[in-house]
């Protein structure tokens, strides 16, 4: 099964830029999706297909994907961005989604 690797935690000061990585073998050949989950809430997709944003998601959220690493970038971080973030791809060999282990974003 395809494995996605995320750092357990990322910390950033308000107003700065947070970068959360998602590593996988040749992940650049796959579409990567990112979810935000705040405590006690269901996940919400913030970026899909590497870099597209659903309606209602601020432009501060962006994504990129190349080689063996995909990255979620959050610009001008706000206290309300503090959450767990998960990357996800489709494992074509087994025909199902795969999640990364998640990254806890702390706003200092």
Contact footprint for other proteins (CB under 8 A): 1, 30-31, 33, 35, 37, 42-45, 48, 54, 84, 86, 88-90, 92, 95-102
Q: Which is nearer to other proteins, 30 or 105 (CB)?
A: 30
Q: Which is nearer to other proteins, 62 or 88 (CB)?
A: 88
- Partners of 36 in the beta sheet? 44, 85
Distance separating alpha carbons of residues 7 and 57, to the nearest angstrom: 23
CB of 98 to other proteins, least distance (A): 7
CB of 91 to other proteins, least distance (A): 10
Give the distance, in angstroms, between the CA of residue 4 and the centroid of all CA atoms in the same chain: 11
CB of 16 to other proteins, least distance (A): 25
- CA dist list (Å): 86 to 10, 46, 47, 106: 13, 10, 11, 14
């Amino acid at each position: 099964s395809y494995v996605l690797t995320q750092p357990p935690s990322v910390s950033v000061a308000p107003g700065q830029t947070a970068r959360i990585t998602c590593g996988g073998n040749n992940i650049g050949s796959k579409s990567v999706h990112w979810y935000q989950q705040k405590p006690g809430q269901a996940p919400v997709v913030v970026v899909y297909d590497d870099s597209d944003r659903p309606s209602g998601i601020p432009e501060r959220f962006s994504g990129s994907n190349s080689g063996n690493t995909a990255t979620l970038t959050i610009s001008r971080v706000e206290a309300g961005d503090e959450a767990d973030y998960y990357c996800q791809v489709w494992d074509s060999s087994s025909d199902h989604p795969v999640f990364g282990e998640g990254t806890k974003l702390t706003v200092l």
